[in-house]
């Protein structure tokens, strides 16, 4: 793929990201419908199929990257997605409508996200590259997190993000017939595999063409692409005036990226951690989640000024990456 013209590589990358996001959505809908037909409670479906399905783009790309000896792309994708989730996914929609920070459960969720971030940073510094035992520790974190969330949901938690994820009955666009359900699942599985493969291949070729490290492509183009579903969800919610679930969705996505995505990637094989990520990017990720925690703990809504501050922060982060490459 290295011999392809640059604009073709970008077209393949963009098309693969679109396919990946689309396939992940179809897989969630098909699997959720099938589970409901089998009589599996919607709470379990929401906390497993829906939860993992919404993180499928990051998960597939990261695992594919490790299997293709491009693990720097995997770690860049995880860190870049978490940074984009806070600075871009919350900052840009806040320019449309203020995002409240006092929804039920949001304080608890941000503390969990901080804990996940600190644990991940500690594991990154313990041993490099990341080995399978470190991946097992991280993936164990997502299992414990889901079990705990299941208990919260059973106890009647009013967390809007939890209620939305745990309840599939109101999900739109579910296939009705068995044949259509099977098609959704098969298309989702094949689309994820194909999209993930071509994202890794095209991103690696672009990195070689520009003579930049693979983690830079993961931190930027791939991270933004795999964060588009969260961005679209929050923008639509802000446009409709339904921003209560925005922060909960972002925090949940960050926890899944660190525990499930990075954990699965390390279980698939060694994950090389470039020194620059440990010097700069992990601290930007930590600073962004701490900034969000400050807004939540002080009950300050994310209005236009704060949204602009977050969005500008993301632009400056992109500029810092570009300057480091140049």
Output the tens digit of pLDDT for each of the chain's 326 residues: 667 788 888 888 888 888 887 887 787 778 777 777 776 665 566 656 666 666 777 888 889 889 988 889 999 999 999 999 999 999 988 888 888 888 777 888 899 999 999 999 999 999 889 999 999 999 999 999 888 877 777 776 666 656 555 555 556 667 778 888 888 888 888 888 888 888 888 888 888 887 888 888 888 888 888 787 778 777 777 676 666 677 877 888 899 999 999 999 999 999 999 999 999 999 999 999 999 999 999 988 888 999 999 999 999 999 998 886 54
Would you say residue 159 lies in a domain?
Answer: yes
pTM: 0.86
- How many Å apart are CA 167 and CA 320, to the nearest integer? 41
Determine the Cα angle at 152 with ends 260 and 288, to 5°: 50
Would you say residue 153 lies in a domain?
Answer: yes
Whether the upstream peptide bond of residue 316 has omega within 30° of 0, thus cis, is no
Would you say residue 175 lies in a domain?
Answer: yes
- Report the pLDDT value the prediction gives residue 51, as an integer from 0 to 100: 62
* DSSP annotation of 131: -
- Report the pLDDT value the prediction gives residue 48, as an integer from 0 to 100: 62
Looking at the 3D structure of the chain, how many domains does it have?
A: 1
Would you say residue 105 lies in a domain?
Answer: yes
Would you say residue 203 lies in a domain?
Answer: yes
- Report the pLDDT value the prediction gives residue 268, as an integer from 0 to 100: 94
Sign of CA dihedral 96, 97, 99, 104: negative
- Report the pLDDT value the prediction gives residue 40, as an integer from 0 to 100: 65
> Which letter, b or e, does each residue of 243-277 get, where b requires 16 or more Cβ atoms within 10 Å of its Cβ?
bbbbbbbbbbbbbbbbbbbbbbbbbbbbbbbbebb
Domain harbouring 217, CATH code: 1.20.1420.30
- Report the pLDDT value the prediction gives residue 244, as an integer from 0 to 100: 66
Would you say residue 1 lies in a domain?
Answer: no
Domain residues for the domain of 46 are 6-325
């Amino acid at each position: 793929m290295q011999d392809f013209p640059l604009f073709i590589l970008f077209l393949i990358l963009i098309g693969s990201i679109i396919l990946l996001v689309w396939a992940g959505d179809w897989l969630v809908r098909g699997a959720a419908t099938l589970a409901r037909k089998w009589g599996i409670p919607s709470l379990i479906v929401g906390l497993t199929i829906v939860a993992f399905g919404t993180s499928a783009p990051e998960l597939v790309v990261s695992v594919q990257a490790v299997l293709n000896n491009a693990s720097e792309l995997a770690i860049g994708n995880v860190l870049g997605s978490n940074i984009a989730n806070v600075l871009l996914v919350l900052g840009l929609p806040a320019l449309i409508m203020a995002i409240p920070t006092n929804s039920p459960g949001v304080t608890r969720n941000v503390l969990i996200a901080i804990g996940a971030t600190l644990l991940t940073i500690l594991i990154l510094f313990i041993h490099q590259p990341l080995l399978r035992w470190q991946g097992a520790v991280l993936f164990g974190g997502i299992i414990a997190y889901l079990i705990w969330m299941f208990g919260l949901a059973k106890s009647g938690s009013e967390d809007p993000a939890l209620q939305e994820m745990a309840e599939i009955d109101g999900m739109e666009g579910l296939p009705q017939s068995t044949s259509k359900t099977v098609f959704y699942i098969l298309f989702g599985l094949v689309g994820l595999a194909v999209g993930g493969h071509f994202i890794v291949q095209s991103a690696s070729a672009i990195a070689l063409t520009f003579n930049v490290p693979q983690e830079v492509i993961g931190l930027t183009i791939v991270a933004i692409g795999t964060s588009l579903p969260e961005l679209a969800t929050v923008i639509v919610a802000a446009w409709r005036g339904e921003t209560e679930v925005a922060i909960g969705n972002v925090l949940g996505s960050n926890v899944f990226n660190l525990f499930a995505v990075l954990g699965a990637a390390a279980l698939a094989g060694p994950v090389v951690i470039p020194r620059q990520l440990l010097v700069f990017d992990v601290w930007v990720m930590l600073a962004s989640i701490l900034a969000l925690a400050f807004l939540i703990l002080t009950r300050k809504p994310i209005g236009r000024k704060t949204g602009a501050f977050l969005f500008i922060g993301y632009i400056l982060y992109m500029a810092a990456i570009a300057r480091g490459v140049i």
